[in-house]
Structure 1
Amino acid sequence: MGVVATAGAVVLLLTGCEETQPKASSGKPAATTASPAAARMPDVIGRKFTEAEAAVREVTRNGAVEARSAYADVELPPEHGEWEVCFQTPAAGTAVTAGAGAELSLVAPGTACPAQAGATLGKKPAKTPTAKPTVTAKPDAKPSAKPSAKPTTAKPTVRVTPSKESGGGGSVYYKNCAAARAAGAAPIRRGEPGYGKHLDRDNDGIGCDS
């Protein structure tokens, strides 16, 4: 700093001695505090319910966890801690808030998960094979309804061995002419049935002619 005296006045010259002061900022300083990351629903599918419930409660800060059976026709028992999770709501990775609830669908140990929650596990009863009715084969030929012809009563043929006395032409033997006349056979010619030499006394070929 130099001092110069001119006309009874003292002028102070300031050279190279300026003091630098920080300028006041008109705005407020920007906040640098980072917001906490949003909580995400964990992936609990395939876990036992006990483990899954604990994981969900940790994220949701003790939010309600509802358990239900994944099959509509299977009742969830009171003790289901060993049951496995098949479906979860909200889905894994979904942002959740404190106290948010969750729903887990479970299946019994050793049971496969259904294609979708609420499916039916019960198997349909096996169909009983229906026996086909036995078809009785019809006979090829229908029995004749008409009765057979009445049997004809044939008169028995009486064969009488001709005696040696007969002429060989008869099959009937008459003891005498009285018998031949009684039978209406007289007179009897040689060769006719019943002719016999004992009936032809005159040996003219006609028996019982007189």
Structure 2
Amino acid sequence: MRRGLHRGVALAAAVGAAVLLLAGCGEPATPEGKDSGTPGSAPTPTGSGPSVPMPGLIGKTSTEAETLVTPLFTKPVEARSAYGDVPLATDHGPWAVCFQTPAAGTPVAGGATVEILLVAPGIQCPSAAGASLHPPKGPSPAETPVPSADPGHPKPKQPKSSPTPAPGPRDVHYENCTEAKAAGAAPIRRGEPGYGKHLDRDGDGIACDK
């Protein structure tokens, strides 16, 4: 009687142990709404496409630059004149690239905008983008305005010109004192017009004084 009871208890214990063993073999379920931590399960960002290194365009013609850029980027190249006072020609294919954006070697996404600044053939690149090729000229020395008179700084005196000598008296000749007196010239002193030794009989330097 007792042996049968012990066998029944042992059988029940064995069955219970088997049930617990089978229940422990299953993996616990992942709670809903939490990351399982599996590598690569994070979503990939959208719109960030692959980047490519920006090619060097400086020194190339506009046509060459566009040939290099067009296969790499979806947007067309934006071209402008490197000088602020020089308009870009409609046919600027032979123009040379002076500046580029983005810089050469920069990793750039395929949807980026590429800008190039150009100069016409035979023209040197400016030192800075947007500079003037023909800067306005300053006033010439002849056009420099004369400063107004300053009371504290009087204008220097101009040297006086020598007076023009008056024309010398024309030669006058009297045949005799009667003629000199008739002309109202007597008496005539030595050095005066009309004086003559033939009129100064006494030689005192005064002609026709008598």
TM-score by length of 1: 0.46
Larger helix share, 1 or 2: 2
Larger strand share, 1 or 2: 1
> Which protein shows a greater Rg?
1
Greater RCO (Cα-Cα under 8 Å, separation 6 or more) = 2
